[in-house]
Structure 1
Amino acid sequence: MGSTSSVYRFPRGHTPHRWKLGTWAEATVPKLEDVASRCGDYISYGELAEYLFEQTNVRTDQRLDYWIRHVLGMVLDYCDTKRLPALPTLVVQKKTGMVGPGFSAWLPRIGLPATQEPKVLEWVAAQERLKCYRHFGADVPPEARPTPTREYAALLYRDERSASKWTPVPKATCPECGTVLPMSGQCDNCS
């Protein structure tokens, strides 16, 4: 991506939206390359937005989820053109540690069908993050495997624990006829 000129700024409220997106996308690439230089590192959407506002001096009053997906989509295009791993996988939701739904646009580019299935997206994102760390010079152990973010791993663990708490206990059945036994434990059909 080219460099962003800091000489001219549009008057307040008159900055073309497409220009803003391009400016932010240009500033996003070096930031994510820096994040990728540290194994296991990632950044939240909010942290990236604050960085972009400070770095470019270009701001918006729009909701974060409205504009950042376009910026990261432009970065995905850049990564695809330059044959880089998907840098936007380093940007995750603060509470869940998950990539956004826009990441599904990357899947067809690597030969997978597009999906919004969270476990699929997160597995592919973990693989791409590992590729990013390796490509951008992070100190990655040779035996390293793709892993979810800490927040997503905690979410999975919590889901597994709550699922195990609510696993239905199989009801006792009669060994003779297979019907479910009443509270007395004696089969009404066979006794």
Structure 2
Amino acid sequence: MHSDDDTRVPAWRVAGEIPVPFSDALAAWAVAAREALIETARVYGSLITQAELGFQVQSQTGIKAGAPVRKWIADLLGAVTEGQDDSEPLLASLCVLLDQTAGDAYAHALGVAGRSVPADLDSDAAHVRFRCYEFFGATIPAGARPTLAPRVAEKRAARGPARPPKAAKSPAKAAKSAEPGTKPAAAAEPKPKKAKAKPKADPKPEEPKPKLCPNCFTVLSTSGECGFCY
């Protein structure tokens, strides 16, 4: 979600806790974000998560947001994109979610840049990232080419290529495949097997699961707030 409504994302200067309009905070964060993204682009294969970028811009500017990073990261990447020169590849491609997918924030940056959102967002981001590494002077290995983020590539490889289901034979083809003078044998119905009763085990008490931050997946404190994203 992204919005220019200052009332939805309160911000303030840490020193003195002075309120700052969101538009002013965003402008300051965008300058810091651009520097962090360029630094990322100068190391081939590097990525920065949305949570990390949000933490960095708040720390460097001394302006804290009163909402989680996921609430305003699209606005931030959009502001960075608006400030880029037309010759530069989109720095927003270097900023990913925790699972290293590009996410909606990158799609928003594409819209700000006047580009349509492609069907394969992660593949598009991989190609743009590669141009970022080239443009901002990263040392690129010989023969390197655009590649998906490691976790995205690993997940796709684990799924494997999709196999089309085998088409069932039509009754006419089944009849032709049978020997002349014979009738297709009816499929024998399997006899149901009686399930053996298993002794019931004493139920074990379940241990309470720790609550995780929905943005960066770190364990929340007893207060229920994430110290990294807030």
Distance 1:136 1:107, change over 3 A: same
Distance 1:9 1:64, change over 3 A: closer
Aligned length: 168
Task: Find the aligned partners of 1:116 and 1:187 in 2 and give their Cα distance.
Answer: 51
Normalized against structure 1, the TM-score is what? 0.74
Find the counterpart in structure 2 of residue 104 from structure 1: 107
Find the counterpart in structure 1 of residue 212 from structure 2: none
Which of these residues, 51, 67, 74, is aligned with residue 56 of structure 2?
51
Find the counterpart in structure 2 of residue 178 from structure 1: 173
Task: Find the aligned partners of 2:22 and 2:110 in 1 and give their Cα distance.
Answer: 27
User: What whole-Å deviation, never above 9, does each CA across 1:37-58 have from its counterpart, x for those lacking one?
Assistant: 1100001111111111211111
Task: Find the aligned partners of 2:110 and 2:86 in 1 and give their Cα distance.
Answer: 16
Task: Find the aligned partners of 1:83 and 1:31 in 2 and give their Cα distance.
Answer: 19
User: What whole-Å deviation, never above 9, does each CA across 1:72-115 have from its counterpart, x for those lacking one?
Assistant: 00111122x352111111000112x1112232355578885x22
Which of these residues, 32, 35, 39, is aligned with residue 34 of structure 1?
39
Find the counterpart in structure 1 of residue 72 from structure 2: 67
Normalized against structure 2, the TM-score is what? 0.63
Structure 1 residue identity aligned to 2:150: R
Structure 2 residue identity aligned to 1:146: P
Question: How well do the aligned residues superpose, as a CA RMSD in angstroms?
Answer: 3.0
Task: Find the aligned partners of 1:10 and 1:22 in 2 and give their Cα distance.
Answer: 18
User: What whole-Å deviation, never above 9, does each CA across 1:134-184 have from its counterpart, x for those lacking one?
Assistant: 1111111242211010111122123327x55xx64554x37x82259xxxx
Question: Which runs of 5 or more residues in structure 2 are unaligned?
Answer: 1-12, 176-182, 187-230
Contact 2:90 2:128 in 1 (8 A): yes
Are 2:20 and 1:25 equivalent residues in the alignment?
no
Contact 1:36 1:90 in 2 (8 A): yes
Contact 1:101 1:116 in 2 (8 A): no
Structure 2 residue identity aligned to 1:101: D
Contact 1:42 1:90 in 2 (8 A): yes
More deviation, 152-161/31-40: 152-161
Question: Which runs of 5 or more residues in structure 1 are unaligned?
Answer: 1-7, 181-185
Query: Following superposition of structure 1 onto structure 2, how do residues 151-190 of structure 1 map, counting pairs within 5 Å?
Result: 151-160=151-160, 168-171=165-168, 173=169, 177-179=172-174, 187=184
* 1:63 CA displacement: 2.4
Distance 1:127 1:98, change over 3 A: same
Task: Find the aligned partners of 1:50 and 1:12 in 2 and give their Cα distance.
Answer: 18
Larger Rg belongs to: 2
